[in-house]
Every structure is written in structure tokens, then in C-alpha cells.
Chain A
Amino acid sequence: MKRFFSRLGSALWDALKGIGRFVAKLWAHPKGRIGLIIAGLLVICAVFAPPIAPYAPYDVTPRAEKGLSPSWAHPLGTTITTGQDIFSMLIYGTRVSLVVGITTGLATAFLGALMGVLTGYVGGFVDMLVMRIVDIMLVIPTLPLTIVLTNLFGKSYFMIIFIFTLFGWTGLARVVRSQVLVLKNSNYVRAAELAGAKRSHIMFRHILPGVSHLLIMSTALTSAGIMVAEAGLSFLGLGDPTAISWGKMLADAQSGGALLFGHWWWIMAPGIGIFLSVFAFMRIGLAMEEIFNPRMKQSSGLYKLFKNLNNTYLQEVFDSMEEDRLEEKVKPEPTEEREPAGVS
């Protein structure tokens, strides 16, 4: 019992130290610093929303007049429909965005890693089965499915997180899988196999740490992408109607007549919020990628984000190219790696 706790404690301590080192590395990187600062501010807003926000959005007694323009009392004005202070709603909105984004990011990373390691290492039947399931899932369009499922089972953020996770792990799984295929052939894994270690032991002690950088990066970039997607879904009205979310603020602005009245502040506020949160996490993710993979420094953010969220053929192309290349790594490398399609 004691040994279990001490092992757990030391594992946690290692993790914390790792996180600390990692944050320091990010801080040193110029892009990462901006991302960290903004993300930090957002987290503070989310956690300490009640003291920061000047008015509590759910409190109806001090409701101001409806549809006010920005002023000192209300820095971003009030809504037309209910008279709530928009600035306070902006602060409270960070909660939903950050929770949904980060939770989905972590869950996707977890699931993607699990599936990637399993299919990559175990291979064979498991691999084939999972890939077929992935093919089926890729065909069903996500947004209409989300709409149908929230109609049948109720609107809540849990449902949204569930659907995003369900459909989001495929991209990461493929990347992890290809990486696992590389690691599978490395010397220390082969040694462990020969030594008679259990498969699960190998998977979690040897292979998983090898892909850990992928996971961390994927968490950040996926979170960024999910925040935008969640804003879109909340805009369509599929999230919890009682929660304050930026997407819902935009939807309320549109249906409450902000366009008619010309209240640009009601529209700009949640938009800036979405922008800042996505920007911050993307910067963190990109910085991480550049830290772990200096060769990629020249590539751009969208490209990498794209690679992470992309589920189909682009990734398959890369994988197929990489797989073949990996198999050849064991044999002596051929002189001409790539044959371009159509040189004279």
C-alpha cells in the first residue's frame, strides 16, 4: 500500500517537474511566450470569473436598461434582449470555451494515443478492424450528426464533447500509429521483447513516452480547433441553453437584432474572445512543435493544425509514404528516395 502511494507520488512529482521544464521551454520561445501569457489570462478569467466580472450575468435584480451602448458603467454595453452586461458575459464565457476545448483535447489525445499504440504495436486483426471503423466514421458528416443526436438526446456540452472525441481521435491515431511503427523496430523495443516483457508493459513504458511529444502538441492544437467548432455549435444552439458561451452570445446577438440596431459591440466581444483563445492555444501548439521538431520551423501554423485535424486522404498519403519508407529503413536506403511524377 505504502509502496503504491510512494510510486504514485514520485510519478506525479516527475510529471510536475516535466511540466515545469516544458513550460520554461515554452517561455523561452517567443511565439510560445505570447501563447502562454494569453492562455494564462484566459485561465485566470475562467477560474476567477465572479470577482473579475463587474456584474453577475445570472443575477436579475441589478439588471440595467436593455440595449445600452458602451460606457464607463458597462464597458461593452448591454444586450438588447435581457439587459445583461456584455463584458461580464464575456468573462464568464471563457469557462465554457476552455473547459470544452481542453477536455476534448485531452480526451482526444488519450483516445488517439490508445488506439494508435494498439493498432501500431499489436497490428494485424485489431489494426484492420479499427481502420475499418474509422472509415465508416469518416463518411458520416459530423455537424449534421451532432444536430441529430442533440435533437434526440438533449442539448448539452457533454454531448458535444462526446461527439467531438468520438470523431476526433482518428487523425491523431494515424500519426501515432506511424510513429509507433518506427519505434517498433528500434533497438530498445526489440531488446525488451527478447527479454520477455509483456506487451502492455512495452506499450506503456517504452512506446508511449516516444510519442508523448505528439500527444502534447496534439492536445494544444486540437483544443484550439475544438474551440472554434464549439463556438459554431453553440451558435447553432446545440449547447446548454443556460450556460454562457461565446457562440451563444453571437447567436443571441443575431436573433436579438444587433444587426438591425447596429450594435457592433455585442458582435465584436464574443468574436474577440474566440480569437484570443484559439490564437493562444495555437501559438502554444506551434511553439511546441518547433521545440520538438526544429526542422518544421519553416512550416506554418495552419499546415500543422490542418495535419492534426485532417482525417482522410492527406494523412493517408503521408502515412503510406512513410510506412514504405520505414520498412526500407531496416534495409539499406536506396539512393533515389523519391521519383517525381513527370520529369523530362
Chain B
Amino acid sequence: MQKGYVIKRILYTIFIFFIVVTLNFFIPRIGVEDPAERYYPPQGNMTDVEYDIVKQLTREQYGFDVSTFQQYIRYLNDLFHGDLGTSFQAGSPKVADLIASRIPWTLVLSVSTLLIGLFLGLLIGSYAAWKRGQRVDTAVLNASTITTALPAFFIALLLSLYLGFEWELFPAYTDPNMVASFDWSWRSISLVASSAALPIISMAIGSVVSYAQNTRNSVIAVSNEDFILTARAKGLPSRQVLYKHTLRNAMLPIVTNLGMSVSGLIGGSVVIEQIFNWNGMGTLFLNANNTNDYPLMMGIMLFLSLFALAANLVTDLCYCLLDPRVTVGGSR
């Protein structure tokens, strides 16, 4: 039963993969007769003859001189060799190289946020569930409304203004050389930590409250279930009741939540990165947008989609293992 489901899921993922890749191929070509003009816009002081030569060179360079179908095949072929295209940036770096160099930095922010969110969220959530109805609980409930209404980038700006520029507790901006001069020395690591503190705090506030909420709700929901009452009636020590039964069952929705947020690990911090000039995927994408660097933009889009796809697949399969009820056509 399980194996059939797994195979079906993987095949389905591959099918979606092809559709996403095809969409990614066609989006920049929509409504444009000559993609070369988009890739090399005319400069004001170029004569017509020169511009035609430039366009022809651009076409050859980016492969527009063959038919669309051939381009598509070449695109797929490059993709299977791991080549996501060549960026317009000076020096023509490969898109895959740029992405690879920026991902670890984005992960520093998002994984830290995730861990802090989980950690503190579980702690606060279980405490609030324990003290249901009292002040802690209502405080947590209200906090959730407030943190949803205050977007993370607004909090980031305020933190940057006060903690960074005014009181100088943290660096107001990310040292430009932080990425390039990173050599695993104590000094480098501490520099990264102090520069990452503000972005992580801004994102973590919302994350902590969200996880606290989920924990509180699922703990309460599970606590009301019959089997918990049965366990207590049986005379099991309350610690065992809490850890073995309540929390383990309450974790299920949280794990799902976690799984869903994995796909947001890379693409989710675009705005925060922009505020703090953090050298991650977010700023890479925004810069590509500002300079009309189409290969880079579409390469990142493709990468993010494929990452989300893979994350969903893994989450789905993991969830299958965790909760045997959720299987296609599974028996009860």
C-alpha cells in the first residue's frame, strides 16, 4: 500500500516538474516578437546597422537564432546538466553558481528563524495551553493578532532604526565584505552573527507567535480527546501523559506546518534581506529584477519552484510515515 502511494507521488511530482519547467520557459517569451530586444535593449546612440549586428550577436549568444522548439530542447538539456543559464552581470557568471553562492546566506537567516520559532513557540505554547484561560493564555491569543497585523518588514525597519542606527547595538548594515572574506574564523562568524541578529529577530517574532499558537491549540485539542482522559483515569503519571500522549499527538499539525514552511525557507525573506542588504537569494532576485537580468530571474524562479516541489514531496512522504491514517486508499 505504501509503496504504491510513494511511486504514484513521485511520478506525479515529475509530471508537475515538467509543466513548471515549460511555464518557466515560456513566461519571458510571452508577447515579445524578438527576445533579443528584451535581452539587449537599444542604446540611444547606436545606429541601425550596429544595432542589427548587436541583436544578431545576442541571438547567437543566447540561442534565439534557432526555432522555439529547438530552444526548448536545448533548455531542457541544459537543465539536466545543471545549467540554469548565464546572467547578464558583468563577467557573465553562471546562474547556478550565483544561486549556489547565495543560498547558504539565506539559509542562515531562515533556518535560524525556524529554530528559534519552534523552540520558543513550543515552550510558550505548551505553557499557555497548561495555563488555559489565565493571563498567559489570553496574552498569547492577543499577541497573534498583533503580530499578524504588524508586518515583519515594518518591525525590521523599526529595529534597524533604533537598535542599528540610533543606539548602535547591532551593525546598521551588513558589511559588504562579510560574504567574500568569510573564512570560518572566530571573527568572521561573530561578524555574521551580529549582522544576522536584527533580521532574525524581525522574522522570529512572527514565527514564535505562530508556533506558540499552533502548539497551544493542538495541545488543547488533543487534551480534550477521550484517550487522554482514559490515560489519566488509568492512573498514568501526568508527566507521562503530557509527553508521551499529548505532545506527541499535538505535534502532528506542527510538523505539517513545519513541512509547509520548508519551501518558504529560501524565497520567504526577500523583503527583510532587502532592508538589511543581506547577501542572500532575496537581494539577488531583486537586483536581477532591477537590472532586467532575465536569465537570472527565470533561473531563480525555476530553482524556487523546483525546491518547493521537492520539499512538498518529502513532506508528503514523511507525513505518510508519521500518520498512517493519511494515505491514499489506506485502510483503517
Contacts and interface: CB of A to CB of B under 8 A. Distances in A.
B301 A264 contact: no
A259 B162 CA distance: 9
Nearest to A275: B149
A340 interface: yes
A141 B304 contact: yes
A271 B267 CA distance: 23
B6 interface: no
B58 interface: no
For the residues of A in contact with B, the DSSP-based class is: helix
Contacts of A148: 27-28, 289, 297-298, 301
Interface in B158-209: 158, 160-162, 164-166, 172, 209
A317 B292 contact: no
Interface string B37-55: 0000000000000000000
A141 B308 contact: yes
B297 A141 contact: no
A340 B218 CA distance: 13
B251 to A, nearest CB: 10
B225 to A, nearest CB: 7
Contact of A302 (B144, B220, B308, B323): B144
A69 interface: no
B112 interface: no
Interface residues of B, number: 80
Contacts of A151: 289, 292, 297
Nearest to B271: A232
B71 interface: no
B276 to A, nearest CB: 11
A295 to B, nearest CB: 11
Contacts of A298: 220
Interface in B313-332: 315-316, 319, 322-326, 332
Interface residues of A, number: 65
Contact of B210 (A139, A274, A306): A306
Contact of B150 (A274, A286, A299, A317): A274
Given A147-B285, A228-B148, A305-B148, A300 B154 contact: no
Contact of B145 (A144, A302, A312): A302
A59 interface: no
A118 interface: no
Contacts, number: 196
A258 B166 CA distance: 11
Given A141-B308, A144-B304, A274 B154 contact: yes
A306 B215 CA distance: 13
B151 to A, nearest CB: 5
Contacts of B227: 338, 340, 343
B267 A262 contact: no
A303 B213 CA distance: 7
A165 B298 CA distance: 22
A194 interface: no
Interface in A304-344: 305-306, 310, 312-314, 317, 320-321, 324, 338-344
A130 to B, nearest CB: 15
A300 B19 contact: no
B157 interface: yes
Given A300-B213, A317-B326, A279 B149 contact: yes
B19 A136 contact: yes
B93 interface: no
B271 A282 contact: no
B153 A232 contact: yes
Interface in B219-257: 220, 222, 225, 227, 231, 236, 244-245, 248-249, 252-253, 256-257
Contacts of B286: 147, 236
A135 interface: yes
Contacts of A271: 150-151, 154, 157-158
Nearest to B147: A302
Given A282-B145, A282-B148, A340 B217 contact: no
B160 A259 contact: yes
A148 B286 CA distance: 10
A340 B271 contact: no
A207 interface: no
Nearest to A258: B161
Contacts of B209: 302
A264 B161 contact: yes
Given A139-B312, A259-B172, A313-B260, 11 more contacts: A136-B16, A138-B308, A145-B301, A147-B286, A153-B31, A232-B153, A250-B154, A274-B154, A279-B146, A341-B252, A341-B322
29 contacts: A138-B312, A141-B301, A144-B270, A144-B301, A147-B285, A147-B297, A148-B27, A151-B297, A225-B148, A228-B148, A232-B151, A253-B157, A262-B161, A264-B162, A267-B161, A274-B150, A275-B154, A279-B149, A282-B149, A302-B147, A302-B209, A302-B213, A312-B312, A313-B315, A317-B319, A320-B326, A321-B325, A340-B222, A342-B244
Interface of A: 135-136, 138-141, 143-145, 147-149, 151-153, 224-225, 228, 231-232, 235-236, 250, 253-254, 258-260, 262, 264, 267-268, 270-271, 274-276, 278-279, 282-283, 286, 298-303, 305-306, 310, 312-314, 317, 320-321, 324, 338-344
**Across the A-B interface, the 5 shortest Cβ-Cβ residue pairs:** A302-B144, A278-B149, A271-B154, A279-B149, A301-B145
